[in-house]
Structure 1
Amino acid sequence: MDDADRGPWDDVPRGLGVVLDEDRGALPYELIHGEALVACAAWGLGDAGVDLVDGGVSWAAVVESGRDVVLHDALCPMTPPDFIDACLQRARESDHPVVGTRPVTDTVKVVSDGVVGQTLDRDSLVAVASPLVIPAAVLASLPRRPASDLARAVADLEAAGHPVEALQAPPEGRRVSSPDDVRLLAALTQRPA
C-alpha cells in the first residue's frame, strides 16, 4: 500500500473488544440465526476490525495496552460492524467516549412516592444500546473497570467528568431483553434467500 492509499487510522493500533455477557442470565446464549447471541456479538467486533480480548486477560493488562476499548453488549448481537467501527472512529476523533443508543418508543412516566405522575417527552430520551467505546487516554484515568451494564458505565463516565457522545444505532443494533425480543430481532435481520 502506498501513502496515497493510506487512511487516517492506518497507523493507529486496532481497538480491543470485550463482549459483555455477565449479569445477563442465560439470554446471551439464546440462538439467533442458529448462533448464540454472544458469538454473534464477538463476530461483530472482529468484523469491525477490533481485536477480541480473552476473558482471562486482566483489566490492568487491557489498560496497559494503551489501546482504545470497545465494550459490546452480548444482548445487542446484531449491531452492524460498520456501526461499531463508526463509534470507534468517532471516539478517536473526539477523544471522548462514544455510546450507541436507540430512540425510546415506550411511554415513560415519572413516579414519585409511589404515585404515577407526568409523562416524559420520549423525544428527549434515548436507550443505551451498544457499543461503548472508551479512548485509551480516558481508560487510563479510570479508577476501575467500567460497569458491565452500559447505561451504568455511561453514567459513571459522565460523573467522572468524561462527557459521552451518543450515536444512534441502526434498528438491528437494538438490545434484546427476552426470547421474544430475540425472535423479533431475528425477523428484522433475516437475510433474503
Structure 2
Amino acid sequence: MTVDPYDVPASGLVIDEDRGHLPYRLVHGEALVAAAAWAAGAAGVDLLDQTTPWEVAAERGSPVLLHDALCPMTPPDFLARCVEIAEARDVVVVGVRPVTDTVKELHDGRLGATVDRDRLVSVCSPIVLPARVVADVDGLPTRDFVALLAWLRSAYDVEMVEAPAAARRVASDDDIRLLEAMTGPVSR
C-alpha cells in the first residue's frame, strides 16, 4: 500500500525518559510533560505511546516529531513549521536556541580563549525525522537530544531552525519559574 505523506499527520513522541523528576514539575499548573503533549497535539501531530514499536511509526509513512518534555512551552506553530520543513526538504530538522553565556576553552585544567558564541547553539525541541529517515532506522539509538543530533548529523542532512525563546529547555525549578514568567498559561 502506498501512503501519501501529506494525508497522514506526523507521528510524535514526547520524550521524558532519562530526564529525572523535572518532566513532572508544574508550569502554569500543568506537568511539563502534559504541556509538551498538548503543544504537539495542537500542532496537528498524532502522539504515539512511548511503548509503540518503531515499526508502527515507520509504516505510517510520515515524519516523526520528537518533543523534549523539558521544552514544554515550545509553541505549536513552531512545531508544525518544523514538520513542514522536514517534509518539504526531506531533511532532519532540529530546533535550536542561540548561546548567550560566555564559553571558554579548557586546556589541562586552565581556562583558555573565549569561544565565538556565533558558532554555538543550544539544542532544544523538536527534532523532526522525515519519513525517509524514519523508515531507514530501526529506532532511536538515544533519547538524549544532543547525542541524537550528533548521530543524525553523521548520516543525514540536518537543518537547524532557530526556536523562539519559549522553546528553551529547562534544567531546574528556577528555569521553570523563568519560563512561566515569560509565557502564558497552557492552552488545551
| Corresponding position: 1:22 with 2:7 | no
Aligned mates of 1:48, 1:175 — CA distance in 2:
19
Tell me: CA distance 1:73–1:86, structure 2 relative to 1, closer, same or farther (3 Å): same
Aligned mates of 2:147, 2:50 — CA distance in 1:
21
1:170 corresponding residue in structure 2: 164
Deviations 1:64-85 (A, max 9, x none): 3222100000000000000000
Aligned mates of 2:55, 2:140 — CA distance in 1:
9
2:96 corresponding residue in structure 1: 101
1:1-193 alignment, distance < 5 Å: 11-160=6-155, 162-190=156-184
Aligned mates of 2:180, 2:114 — CA distance in 1:
32
Question: Which ranges of structure 1 fall in alignment gaps of 5 or more residues?
Answer: 1-8
Letter in 2 for 1:117: G
Letter in 1 for 2:125: S
Aligned mates of 2:9, 2:173 — CA distance in 1:
33
How many residues matched? 182
Deviations 1:41-94 (A, max 9, x none): 000000000000012211222223222100000000000000000000011111
Tell me the secondary structure at the aligned position of residue 101 of structure 1. Answer: strand
Identity of aligned residues (%): 53
After TM superposition, give the deviation of residue 135 of structure 1 in Å: 0.4
Tell me the secondary structure at the aligned position of residue 131 of structure 1. Answer: strand
User: Normalization by structure 1: what TM-score?
Assistant: 0.90
User: Normalization by structure 2: what TM-score?
Assistant: 0.92
Tell me: CA distance 1:22–1:11, structure 2 relative to 1, closer, same or farther (3 Å): closer
Answer yes or no: is the 8 Å Cα contact 2:5–2:61 preserved in 1: no
After TM superposition, give the deviation of residue 167 of structure 1 in Å: 0.7
Aligned mates of 1:59, 1:10 — CA distance in 2:
17
After TM superposition, give the deviation of residue 182 of structure 1 in Å: 0.1
Tell me the secondary structure at the aligned position of residue 150 of structure 2. Answer: helix
Aligned mates of 1:104, 1:56 — CA distance in 2:
34
Provide the aligned C-alpha RMSD in A.
1.6
